[in-house]
A and B are shown apart, each in its own frame.
Chain A
Amino acid sequence: GQQLNQSPQSMFIQEGEDVSMNCTSSSIFNTWLWYKQDPGEGPVLLIALYKAGELTSNGRLTAQFGITRKDSFLNISASIPSDVGIYFCAGDNTDKLIFGTGTRLQVFP
């Protein structure tokens, strides 16, 4: 089936640093979504992208819908300790979402 590859698999950064992660697919998607999951909780929607080339921000988070429609990027600026968690990308497939493998982010003070 369809798969989304996220990279890096994990990141260890210092508080205040900027973070970049990406998601690639072998298939075209019409929608890209980015979620964050804290330990023991359900994922929370961060940003939704609906148009190729679209760049959308949510506070310190910025995400882009790749021109080829096969990739998406998430950037976090000036990281803080509460940014710790697992970040998932997801692409639409009719009534379903295909989720990426996740990027685990650790932020050290």
Chain B
Amino acid sequence: SQTIHQWPATLVQPVGSPLSLECTVEGTSNPNLYWYRQAAGRGLQLLFYSVGIGQISSEVPQNLSASRPQDRQFILSSKKLLLSDSGFYLCAWSHGYEQYFGPGTRLTVT
């Protein structure tokens, strides 16, 4: 069966510091991969999605970037974090319309 992992689970970073969040999927190949951000008590905002290695589509222009160095690995990065980057970051995978989410990373920028 397929599983999706995210780490770290929680992260506290100062403003201006770099960021790297990792997502990996097991038990499937060539999935579509997604990064979402969720503000407290709010809905899901799609940040990036990828349909293959090296293929990244950005939904919201901001100081974040994404990379897909391997088929089942998706990385979310920032060179300099802003206070507004705080939130709950979710990774998801799909092979069709149904998306399956990871456990999330809670990021607090101080």
Q: Which A residues are within 8 Å of any B CB, using their own CB? A: 31, 33, 35, 40-45, 48, 50, 88, 90, 92, 95-97, 99-102
Given A42-B104, A95-B32, residue A48 in contact with residue B98 (CB < 8 A): yes
B43 A97 Cβ-Cβ under 8 A:
no
Q: How far apart sit A99 and B90, CA to CA, in the bound complex (Å)?
A: 13
Q: Which B residues are within 8 Å of any A CB, using their own CB? A: 32, 34, 42-44, 46, 49, 51, 59, 88, 90, 92, 97-104, 106
A45 B100 Cβ-Cβ under 8 A:
yes
Other CB < 8 Å A-B pairs besides A43-B44, A45-B98, A48-B97, 11 of them?
A33-B99, A40-B88, A42-B90, A42-B104, A44-B101, A88-B44, A96-B46, A97-B97, A99-B44, A101-B43, A102-B43
B43 A42 Cβ-Cβ under 8 A:
no
| Chain B residue contacts of A96, Cβ below 8 A | 34, 46, 49, 59
B97 A41 Cβ-Cβ under 8 A:
no
Q: How far apart sit A45 and B34, CA to CA, in the bound complex (Å)?
A: 15
Q: How far apart sit A89 and B49, CA to CA, in the bound complex (Å)?
A: 19
- Would you give 15 A-B contacts (Cβ < 8 Å), ordered by A? A33-B98, A35-B101, A40-B88, A42-B90, A42-B92, A42-B104, A45-B98, A48-B97, A50-B97, A92-B97, A96-B49, A97-B97, A97-B99, A99-B43, A100-B43
User: Among the listed A31, A41, A90, which residue makes an inter-chain contact with B104, where contact means beta carbons less than 8 Å apart?
Assistant: A41
| Chain B residue contacts of A102, Cβ below 8 A | 42-43
- Nearest CB in chain B to that of A102: its residue: B43
B49 A42 Cβ-Cβ under 8 A:
no
A40 B106 Cβ-Cβ under 8 A:
yes
- Nearest CB in chain A to that of B46: its residue: A96
Q: How far apart sit A26 and B92, CA to CA, in the bound complex (Å)?
A: 25
